[in-house]
């Protein structure tokens, strides 16, 4: 009240001040009244609720209201910008007018996509605003315009490096975007990657920190050839390219948003806020009608994001780039064993390269021997099985001999294109089954959120690789009228990489989870187990993929006399496709527990899967096991749906 | 005795898995046989590489990278982009030149502004002169560029 009484005096005072300052400060006053009117308009149309603003700021609605998924405070101008889209918008509009310097440059020069969008949406009259001058403020980070000039972006491709043959963990794959330029050379395109930044070399810590958001994720941009070397030559992963139908303008918008994200971090979470998820914001920024970041997956699996993008209808076919390993296998398949051995000897330095030239074989055959040996020598080098000095010397000698033979025009080197990974079965599975265990009938329902087992339809997946998380089976035994948890596989990974003339990988498996096992009282009890194993596998047309492994096993459970049992044993089996739609897995394993409880467990089984369609199958299984002196037979038949 | 055997076996498994934990050092360089990236064969490192997609260190937003340790020079055909490309792709380019074709050779030709109609001649000329372009093992990227220039300007 007292305050109001003073008003007339202050009005008088300010009126005279305004009169005085009117001429000199005219621009300033006009600007600030323009600012007020712009802010008013933004509020009137509730611009802060616009979807594009939420895309650019990565706002998502959660249990506790709206928040941005970006964690770097430098991404926001308002103090509570991470949680308050409206305050952030106001702060940004003010920053446009004041040319506020943020990290060494005007905010409008850093947040170019926001700036362009607001300018357009609010039809800003740029003659009334002191526009920012976006120079190359602090090299090497260029101004957006000079970056655009240099890059000349034209189009975008989504890239999916497929699973690594001997690392089922890589089955989750990875996705990156490639910005193609006016130069038309794919190799020189720019690969946009989102990854956790870490110097950690201690494996387990690295994995745990990656899972729980201890690392900061950053975007980076590298020449695509570097990524091709990394994934194709060194990691031995086939690469799938999905060109997108984004226009040049949309590509520019994508780059604008990427520019805003440069050197900005979010905490990296392996399961959801990962490499694949964050890239989707770039696509939405390019074309806001896309709806990719709201897709509800329990876990963001890179392959699922590829499927989502395909579903949006923005892909223009696919291109396949076989890895070096795939090329070696294909090339070898075109040659006789004798010639394969020659290539092997060349790569290992056991045969002088010039000796091939003297042989009485055709020019094409000589070329194939050299070409295979070159690829294989590079493979040996990346695996550190040959020193760099020896590699360089051998490499040049072979290439010199090869260069005397001229070109190879045939297209036989083109590796046949396998089924597309996005056309494989869905990554979650639900199953309904009925059967009998030790004469007691049961009905079972099972759910497996992730991902692929050896018996599932192999189309689009790596052969011999299995990765299962949280596979849960509930059973109802009608005789005892009991519902019980039959098994829970937390993790079950199998990597069967067949050995041949060129590759001698180790196959391995590890599974951990809960299962039912007969104990001394002759009844089933739940135990926890951890079973790692390693061994070899091979492949031939008669047996299919077959393996032999030795391993250890740890059981923990209250029903065990000593609460635990530690043992070792062996397993063997074969996986074969009888026809396109019929797959079998025949196996046996034998484990002797000698520390803690002492007992023997033996199990043999025949599992079969009949594929009905991409996303459905019928499974049939028979297992016979012996625990202590108790024999048990289980027969089960069920139907599975993938989604 | 039996227990000892079990413990040995179990211990062996543990050691086997944990030796796979330690990541290899990266090997950057300018010549043949140097790689921008190094592979990892370890079990856990594969898994952990998959959890974070394993990029170590920050890559800044510079458009080009990878030549920081290598000397560069400018000549009539070469420019910054040729230098960087040849440096980063020494082995792949050598392979393409020896074979007389390939994606890396095409890219080099386009960076050197070789017209499409002259590409076949360019490729076969480089192939025939492979030994001149790569005379010895520790040839540097800059020498390779110089040698390529010498080959195409010779008649």
Contact between A187 and B62 using a beta-carbon 8 Å cutoff: no
Residue A606 has a pLDDT of: 97
A75: contact with B, CB 8 A cutoff: no
- In this structure, are A466 and A555 located in the same domain? yes
pTM score: 0.82
Going from the C-alpha of B37 to that of each of A598, B26, B33, B103, the distances in angstroms are: 48, 7, 11, 20
How many CB atoms are closer than 10 A to CB A381? 21
Confidence of residue B29 (pLDDT cuts 50, 70, 90): very low
Write out pLDDT tens, residues A146-182. Answer: 888 888 899 999 999 887 766 655 666 788 999 998 8
Q: Check: CB of residue A76 under 8 Å from CB of residue A82.
A: yes
Write out pLDDT tens, residues A107-116. Answer: 999 999 999 9
Contact between A403 and B38 using a beta-carbon 8 Å cutoff: no
Q: Check: CB of residue B54 under 8 Å from CB of residue A161.
A: no
- In this structure, are A375 and A458 located in the same domain? no
A414: contact with B, CB 8 A cutoff: no
- In this structure, are A313 and A333 located in the same domain? no
For residue A1, being part of any structural domain is answered with no
For residue A28, being part of any structural domain is answered with yes
The SS3 of residue B109 is helix
For residue A187, being part of any structural domain is answered with yes
Going from the C-alpha of A279 to that of each of A24, A36, A294, A297, B64, the distances in angstroms are: 50, 36, 13, 16, 21
For chain A, the domain total comes to 4
- Can you say whether residue A637 is alpha, beta or left, with left for phi > 0 and alpha for psi between -120 and 50 degrees? beta
Within 274-293 of A, beta carbons closer than 8 Å to B belong to 274-275
The SS3 of residue A210 is helix
- The residue among A290, A321, A352 that closes a domain is A321
- In this structure, are A357 and A439 located in the same domain? no
Of A270 and A315, the structure prediction assigns the larger pLDDT to A315
Dist CA A466 CA A425 (whole Å): 14
For residue A175, being part of any structural domain is answered with yes
Tell me the chain A residues in contact with residue B59 when contact means C-beta distances shorter than 8 Å. Answer: 218, 220-222
Q: Could you give the percent of chain A with pLDDT greater than 90?
A: 61
Torsion, Cα of A328, A329, A330, A332 (10° steps): 80
Residue A206 has a pLDDT of: 59
Residue partners of B50: CB distance under 8 A and separation at least 6: A167, A169, A170, A172, A174
| Nearest C-alpha in A relative to B10 | A552
Nearest to A568 among B6, B44, B50 (CB): B6
Dist CA A259 CA A274 (whole Å): 19
Choose among A382, A399, A398, A381: nearest CA to A390. Answer: A381
Environment class of A94 (CB within 10 Å of its CB; exposed 0-12, middle 13-18, buried 19+): middle
- In this structure, are A222 and A331 located in the same domain? no
**Where do the H-state alpha helices sit in B19-140?**
43-52, 80-88, 90-99, 103-111, 119-128, 130-133
Element (H, E) at A436: strand A429-437
| Nearest C-alpha in A relative to B120 | A407
For residue A193, being part of any structural domain is answered with yes
Residue A195 has a pLDDT of: 79
Q: Check: CB of residue A285 under 8 Å from CB of residue A56.
A: yes
Write out pLDDT tens, residues A390-407. Answer: 999 999 999 999 999 987
- In this structure, are A306 and A373 located in the same domain? no
Write out pLDDT tens, residues A204-257. Answer: 565 666 666 677 888 888 889 988 988 877 778 899 999 999 999 999 999 999
A532: contact with B, CB 8 A cutoff: yes
Tell me the chain B residues in contact with residue A222 when contact means C-beta distances shorter than 8 Å. Answer: 59, 65
- Mean pLDDT for A115-144 is 81
For residue A183, being part of any structural domain is answered with yes
Contact between B51 and A210 using a beta-carbon 8 Å cutoff: yes
Tell me the chain A residues in contact with residue B60 when contact means C-beta distances shorter than 8 Å. Answer: 140-141, 220, 263
- In this structure, are A309 and A361 located in the same domain? no
- Mean pLDDT for B52-66 is 37
Residue A229 has a pLDDT of: 85
A534: contact with B, CB 8 A cutoff: yes
For residue A133, being part of any structural domain is answered with no
Which of A164, A331, A399, A571 to probe by mutation at the B interface, max B CB count within 10 Å?
A: A399
For A116, phi and psi rounded to 5 degrees?
-60, -40
Q: Which two tokens stand for residue A145?
A: 């315009």
Average pLDDT of chain B? 67
- In this structure, are A537 and A618 located in the same domain? yes
Residue A203 has a pLDDT of: 54
* pLDDT above 70: residue A263: yes
- Mean pLDDT for A472-477 is 96
- In this structure, are A153 and A269 located in the same domain? yes
- The residue among A321, A341, A356 that closes a domain is A321
Confidence of residue A598 (pLDDT cuts 50, 70, 90): very high
Specify which residues A498 forms β-bridges with: A537
Going from the C-alpha of B130 to that of each of A30, A184, A399, A608, B110, the distances in angstroms are: 71, 27, 8, 55, 19
- In this structure, are A208 and A307 located in the same domain? yes
The C-alpha R_g of chain A, in whole angstroms, comes to 32
Q: Check: CB of residue A636 under 8 Å from CB of residue A621.
A: yes
Order of strands across the sheet that contains A237-243: A266-268, A215-223, A190-197, A176-181, A153-164, A237-243, A319-321
The sign of the torsion formed by the CA atoms of A33, A35, A39, A42 equals: positive
Confidence of residue B13 (pLDDT cuts 50, 70, 90): very low
Tell me the chain A residues in contact with residue B27 when contact means C-beta distances shorter than 8 Å. Answer: 388
Orientation of helix A363-382 relative to helix B90-99, angle to 10°: 170
Residue A413 has a pLDDT of: 79
Write out pLDDT tens, residues B121-150. Answer: 999 999 999 999 999 988 988 899 999 999
Confidence of residue A9 (pLDDT cuts 50, 70, 90): very low
* pLDDT above 70: residue A24: no
Average pLDDT of chain A? 87
For residue A298, being part of any structural domain is answered with yes
Specify which residues A476 forms β-bridges with: A443, A483
Residue the block writes with tokens 């036989």: A412
Residue A601 has a pLDDT of: 95
- In this structure, are A513 and A629 located in the same domain? yes
Q: What is the CATH number of the domain that holds A570?
A: 2.40.160.40
The SS3 of residue A601 is strand
- In this structure, are A113 and A233 located in the same domain? no
Contact between A187 and B103 using a beta-carbon 8 Å cutoff: yes
Of A235 and B154, the structure prediction assigns the larger pLDDT to B154
Going from the C-alpha of A390 to that of each of A373, A383, A385, B137, the distances in angstroms are: 14, 14, 10, 10
Which of A162, A175, A180, A392 to probe by mutation at the B interface, max B CB count within 10 Å?
A: A392
Instruction: Tell me the longest C-alpha to C-alpha distance in chain B.
Output: 80
Torsion, Cα of A142, A147, A149, A154 (10° steps): 180
Residue partners of A360: CB distance under 8 A and separation at least 6: none
Residue A153 has a pLDDT of: 92
- The residue among A71, A102, A128 that closes a domain is A128
For A610, phi and psi rounded to 5 degrees?
-105, 120
Domain of residue A123, residue span: 18-128
Nearest to A223 among B5, B6, B88 (CB): B88
Choose among B46, B16, B44, B48: nearest CA to A568. Answer: B16
Orientation of helix A112-121 relative to helix A85-98, angle to 10°: 90
């Amino acid at each position: 009240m007292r305050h109001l009484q003073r008003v007339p005096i202050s009005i008088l005072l300010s009126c005279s001040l305004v009169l005085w300052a009117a001429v000199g400060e005219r621009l300033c006053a006009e600007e600030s009244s323009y600012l007020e009117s712009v802010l008013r308009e933004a509020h009137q149309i509730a611009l802060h609720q616009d979807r594009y603003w939420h895309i650019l700021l990565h706002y998502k609605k959660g249990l506790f209201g709206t928040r941005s998924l970006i964690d770097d405070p430098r991404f926001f101008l308002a103090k509570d910008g991470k949680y308050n889209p409206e305050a952030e918008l106001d702060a940004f509009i003010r920053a446009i007018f004041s040319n506020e310097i943020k990290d060494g440059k005007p905010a409008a020069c850093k947040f170019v996509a926001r700036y362009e969008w607001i300018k357009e949406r609010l039809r800003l009259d740029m003659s009334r605003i002191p526009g920012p001058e976006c120079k190359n403020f602090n090299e090497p980070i260029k101004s957006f315009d000079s970056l655009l000039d240099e890059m000349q972006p034209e189009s975008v491709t989504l890239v999916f490096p497929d699973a690594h043959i001997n690392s089922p963990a890589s089955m989750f794959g990875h996705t990156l975007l490639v910005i193609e330029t006016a130069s038309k050379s794919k190799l020189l395109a720019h690969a946009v990657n989102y990854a956790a930044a870490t110097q950690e070399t201690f494996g387990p810590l690295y994995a745990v920190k990656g899972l729980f958001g201890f690392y900061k994720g950053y975007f980076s941009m590298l020449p695509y050839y570097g990524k091709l070397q990394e994934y194709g030559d060194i990691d031995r992963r086939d690469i799938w390219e999905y060109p997108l139908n984004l226009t040049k303008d949309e590509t520019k918008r994508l780059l604008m948003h990427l520019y805003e994200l440069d050197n900005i971090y979010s905490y990296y979470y392996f399961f959801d806020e990962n490499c694949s998820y964050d890239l989707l914001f770039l696509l939405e920024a390019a074309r806001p009608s896309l709806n990719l970041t709201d897709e509800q997956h329990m876990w963001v699996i890179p392959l699922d994001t590829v499927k989502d993008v395909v579903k949006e209808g923005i892909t223009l076919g696919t291109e396949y780039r076989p890895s070096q390993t795939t090329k070696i296998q294909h090339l070898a398949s075109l040659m006789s064993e004798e010639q394969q051995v020659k290539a092997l000897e060349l790569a290992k330095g056991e045969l002088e390269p010039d000796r091939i030239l003297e042989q009485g074989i055709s020019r094409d055959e000589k070329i194939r021997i050299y070409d295979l040996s070159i690829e294989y020598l590079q493979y040996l080098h990346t695996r550190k099985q040959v020193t760099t000095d020896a590699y360089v010397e051998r490499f040049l000698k072979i290439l010199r001999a090869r260069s005397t033979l001229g070109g190879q025009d045939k297209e036989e080197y083109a590796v046949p294109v396998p089924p597309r990974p996005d056309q494989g079965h869905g990554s979650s599975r639900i199953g309904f089954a009925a059967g009998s265990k030790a004469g007691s009938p049961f009905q079972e329902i099972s759910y497996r959120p992730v991902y692929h087992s050896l018996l599932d339809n192999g189309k689009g997946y790596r052969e011999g690789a299995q990765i299962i998380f949280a596979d849960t089976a509930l059973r109802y035994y009608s005789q005892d009228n009991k519902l019980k948890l039959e098994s829970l596989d937390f993790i079950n990974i199998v990597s069967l990489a067949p050995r041949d003339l060129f590759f001698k990988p180790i196959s391995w498996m590890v599974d951990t989870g809960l299962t039912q096992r007969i104990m001394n009282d002759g009844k089933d009890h739940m135990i926890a187990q951890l079973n790692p194993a390693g061994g070899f596998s091979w492949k031939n047309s008669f047996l299919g993929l077959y393996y032999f492994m030795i391993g250890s096993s740890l059981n923990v459970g209250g029903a065990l006399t000593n609460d635990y049992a530690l043992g070792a044993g062996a397993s063997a089996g074969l996986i074969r496709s009888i026809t396109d739609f019929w797959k079998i897995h025949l196996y046996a394993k034998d484990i002797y527990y000698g520390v803690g409880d002492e007992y023997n467990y033996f199990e043999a089984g025949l599992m079969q899967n009949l594929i009905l369609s991409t996303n459905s199958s019928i499974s049939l299984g028979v297992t016979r096991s012996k625990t202590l002196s108790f024999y048990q037979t289980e027969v089960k038949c069920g139907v599975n749906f993938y989604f | 005795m039996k227990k000892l055997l079990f413990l040995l076996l179990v211990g062996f498994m543990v050691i086997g898995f944990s030796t796979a934990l330690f990541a290899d050092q990266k090997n950057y360089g300018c010549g043949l046989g140097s790689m921008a990236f190094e592979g990892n064969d370890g079990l856990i490192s594969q898994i952990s590489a998959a959890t974070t997609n394993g990029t170590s260190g920050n890559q800044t937003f510079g458009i080009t990278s990878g030549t920081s340790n290598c000397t560069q020079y400018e000549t009539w055909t070469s420019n910054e982009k040729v230098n960087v490309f040849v440096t980063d792709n020494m082995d792949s380019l050598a392979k393409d030149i020896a074979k007389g074709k390939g994606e890396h050779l095409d890219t080099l030709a386009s960076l050197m502004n070789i017209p499409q109609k002259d590409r076949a001649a360019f490729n076969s000329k480089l192939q025939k002169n492979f030994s001149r372009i790569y005379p010895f093992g520790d040839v540097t990227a800059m020498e390779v560029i110089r040698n390529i220039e010498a080959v195409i300007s010779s008649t």
